[in-house]
Chains A and B, each alone.
Chain A
Amino acid sequence: MMRKYTDKKNVQKKPYYTDRFWVAPQIPKFDVSSDEVFASDTEALKANFEIKKAYIQRGQLVVYINAGENVEVLTYLRDKLQYNFLSEHSAIDWLAKSGEFEIFYQMLSTSKRKRMRIKFFIKEKEPIRSISTIYKSADWSEREMYDMFGVIITGHHYMKRILMPEDWFGHPLRKTYPLQGDEEASWYEIDKIFGKEYRDIIGPENRDSSRIDEDDTYNFSRIHHEVSFGAKPSKEIVETDYQEEGGVFLVKKLKKADSKILEERP
């Protein structure tokens, strides 16, 4: 039997059926000149930097710049064009398609009430310069981007993983990373608590600390199928009274029939 083909470059879930003739519609992109503020902003940017593409989508300006100019463009945006907030900054993984990451900076100008997105592409191992000196909010978002995608950032003062543990292997938001975690991830706790040499002793069936074994009556007890400690599991239904007949000191025995449901709060 042949093993079913799976695309290792993108292990994210796929819909089980897609119509062969289905063509996805596009969200319309409008010309920059359709909005006054955006038009003047793009003009100002074009005068100083190389702009590859600029359009308006769903009311927000999207500008593609050169990867090397990110620091200069953002400094210009902050100082000259009044984009005083960096609301969001992250990457999109296109490694399977073109071997690239798409980096985006989501900017906000409170004085103009406008939002724009600065974007550029980088190769997988191409470093980008940190912008955390321009917008300090990039401090953590750059760390998160490194953590999740492995994008290399130079000039950051404290480049460490932020959400995952420091000794984690791999970058979880890459499309090559499976949702359930990879092999390293499933051994992580064993390696951490016991050491790598214990992998063979513990074995893959016991490495998951949250695994529940129905037949294991030493560690687990099935509701309504309780048996004594270590006895064989049974299918018989046991109705257990969870409170002793005599009652517990100061605790009233709860009887469902006697309880009263209030119509309204007193």
Chain B
Amino acid sequence: MQKVNKLQPFFENLVFERDDNTMIVNFGPQHPSAHGQLRLILELDGEMVTKATPDVGYLHRGMEKMAENMIYNEFLPTTDRMDYIAASSNNYGFALAVETLIGLEVPRRAKTIRMMLLELNRIVSHLFWLATHALDVGAMTIFLYAFREREYAMDLIEEYCGARLTHSSVRIGGVPLDLPENWITNLSKFLDKMPANLADYEGLLDKNRIWKMRLEEVGKITPEMAQTWGCSGPMLRGSGIAWDIRKEEPYELYDEVEFDVPVSDTLDSYGRYKLHMEEMRQSVKIIRQVIPMYYKSEPQIMAHAPKYISAPKEQIMTQNYSLMEHFVLVAQGMRPPVGEVYVATESPKGELGFYINSQGGAYPYRLKLRAPSFWHTSILQELLPGHYLADVVTIIGNSNIVFGEIDR
């Protein structure tokens, strides 16, 4: 019998030789390729995954509970912390849900600014996805290039709202600020550079033998699978179903701009990679079309609805009644009508939905966040078995999951 101490490990209970090749690997929650706090319990036969059990909840902050204890405007910055890679799209999803609840029409200028921000966020998110995914698979160079471009886009967002990651750049009823001076010029510079950069990435990856070997025929999601598991966004379009909420149920000015919805029929990770690249091009195309719309619009940026939305600052400081209303809206919060809405928007990751049940109070009675990554993580239990352990990293990276919105 060995003595248990630090120098001599105690081997009594460890078995090194087994009859079969099965093994259980605990992947995460602190694994660099887990993209957050994902724990995967993988049952392996040799190097082949036979069963995968994703375990989430390590980043649970109880946002839905928080929402029930906050006025609507108070909750908006919390949504930043969901998909923190593209925070504006969460802000927007929530703002749109509340606007639908109270039946509010947003001024056209706010719509154009929102669309520019949303598409910039999509580019940022896809660049981040490409960078980290490529890094996981072994292409370090791409990471550095993509992060450089992401930095430029984040500079633009920072110039607009002052934050790089947690933007809170959208308000219920509009946007807080008009675009700063020269912003459009800088944006155009960025847009001019973007197609060449995308071509560079594709030059590095498209025919790269390692990249193709690791992505092609890996993580195939059939259309039936995508439907039953509730996939959305690039994960759904990657399995051949052309469904983009911007196109099918247009919000803001998406029905006035022209863009294509890329679809991949190969069903595999490589197809989804091509799709993400194409989506970035489409985002550039959309922003280009929105810029002239911005110039043509009236300067109003917040909706006029004194019952729900505070008046412009200038008015609050000069008009007594506006000040009183503003005080009530800040101290007590707006009280939307009784009813419920479910509003879905196309976030970079997929369908981001907000279900709000209002009982006419200043606090939502129930707020349910439908985060796309949650469903894209649950599909892992069917997707991973049959793949090799090395492919697990590819599939997790490729499904573009962010734990802020899974655990909420």
Contact B332 A25 (CB under 8 A): no
Given contacts A24-B338, A25-B360, A26-B338, contact A139 B378 (CB under 8 A): yes
> How many A residues touch B, CB cutoff 8 Å?
49
Determine the distance from Cα of A215 to Cα of B155 in the docked complex, in whole angstroms. Answer: 42
CB < 8 Å: which of A13, A136, A163 contacts B228?
A136
Residues of chain B lying within 8 A (CB to CB) of residue A42 = none
CB < 8 Å: which of B152, B232, B337, B365 contacts A25?
B337
Residues of chain B lying within 8 A (CB to CB) of residue A113 = 248-249
Contact A179 B230 (CB under 8 A): no
- Which residues of B, 390-408, contact A by the 8 Å Cβ criterion? 407-408
Contact A17 B375 (CB under 8 A): no
Is the C-beta of B368 less than 8 angstroms from some C-beta in chain A? yes
Is the C-beta of A87 less than 8 angstroms from some C-beta in chain B? yes
Is the C-beta of B56 less than 8 angstroms from some C-beta in chain A? yes
Given contacts A27-B101, A84-B227, A88-B370, contact A106 B353 (CB under 8 A): yes
Shortest A175–chain B CB gap in Å is 8
Contact B56 A57 (CB under 8 A): no
Shortest Cβ distance from A92 into B: residue = B366
Chain B, residues 320-360, CB within 8 Å of chain A (1/0): the string is: 00000000000111010111111010000001010101011
CB < 8 Å: which of B64, B332, B339 contacts A15?
B332
Is the C-beta of B306 less than 8 angstroms from some C-beta in chain A? no
> How many B residues touch A, CB cutoff 8 Å?
57
Is the C-beta of A85 less than 8 angstroms from some C-beta in chain B? yes
Is the C-beta of A265 less than 8 angstroms from some C-beta in chain B? yes
Residues of chain B lying within 8 A (CB to CB) of residue A18 = 361
Residues of chain A lying within 8 A (CB to CB) of residue B241 = 110
Is the C-beta of A64 less than 8 angstroms from some C-beta in chain B? no
Contact B332 A87 (CB under 8 A): no
Q: Which has the most chain A C-beta neighbours within 10 Å: B101, B228, B362, B379?
A: B228
Contact B355 A88 (CB under 8 A): yes
Residues of chain B lying within 8 A (CB to CB) of residue A14 = 361, 363
Contact B375 A58 (CB under 8 A): no
Chain A, residues 91-104, CB within 8 Å of chain B (1/0): the string is: 01100000000001
Is the C-beta of B65 less than 8 angstroms from some C-beta in chain A? yes
Given contacts A24-B359, A25-B360, A106-B353, contact A87 B370 (CB under 8 A): yes
Shortest B8–chain A CB gap in Å is 27
Is the C-beta of B66 less than 8 angstroms from some C-beta in chain A? yes
Determine the distance from Cα of A58 to Cα of B230 in the docked complex, in whole angstroms. Answer: 23
Contact A57 B340 (CB under 8 A): yes
Contact B333 A162 (CB under 8 A): no
Q: Which has the most chain B C-beta neighbours within 10 Å: A22, A60, A86, A88?
A: A88
Shortest A25–chain B CB gap in Å is 4
Shortest A107–chain B CB gap in Å is 10
Q: Which has the most chain A C-beta neighbours within 10 Å: B62, B66, B100, B381?
A: B62
Is the C-beta of B57 less than 8 angstroms from some C-beta in chain A? yes
Determine the distance from Cα of A13 to Cα of B364 in the docked complex, in whole angstroms. Answer: 10
Is the C-beta of A137 less than 8 angstroms from some C-beta in chain B? yes
Determine the distance from Cα of A88 to Cα of B93 in the docked complex, in whole angstroms. Answer: 15
Contact A15 B333 (CB under 8 A): yes
Contact A58 B100 (CB under 8 A): yes
Shortest B138–chain A CB gap in Å is 29
- Which residues of B, 46-60, contact A by the 8 Å Cβ criterion? 56-57, 60
Residues of chain B lying within 8 A (CB to CB) of residue A85 = 227, 230
Contact B338 A25 (CB under 8 A): yes
Shortest Cβ distance from A90 into B: residue = B368
Contact A136 B57 (CB under 8 A): no
Residues of chain B lying within 8 A (CB to CB) of residue A24 = 335, 337-338, 359-361
Is the C-beta of B382 less than 8 angstroms from some C-beta in chain A? yes
Is the C-beta of A188 less than 8 angstroms from some C-beta in chain B? no
Determine the distance from Cα of A164 to Cα of B65 in the docked complex, in whole angstroms. Answer: 13
Contact B407 A88 (CB under 8 A): no
Q: Which has the most chain A C-beta neighbours within 10 Å: B103, B229, B363?
A: B229
Is the C-beta of A242 less than 8 angstroms from some C-beta in chain B? no
- Which residues of B, 368-383, contact A by the 8 Å Cβ criterion? 368, 370, 374-375, 377-379, 381-382
Which residues of A come within 8 Å of B, CB atoms?
Answer: 12-18, 22, 24-27, 29, 57-58, 60, 62, 84-88, 90, 92-93, 104, 106, 108, 110, 113, 115, 117, 135-137, 139-140, 148, 161-165, 172-173, 175, 177, 179, 265
Chosen A-B contacts, 26 in total, with CB atoms closer than 8 Å, are A14-B361, A15-B333, A15-B363, A22-B335, A24-B335, A24-B360, A26-B337, A26-B339, A60-B341, A85-B227, A86-B230, A87-B344, A87-B351, A88-B342, A88-B353, A90-B355, A110-B243, A110-B248, A117-B342, A136-B378, A140-B375, A161-B57, A163-B57, A164-B60, A172-B65, A265-B155
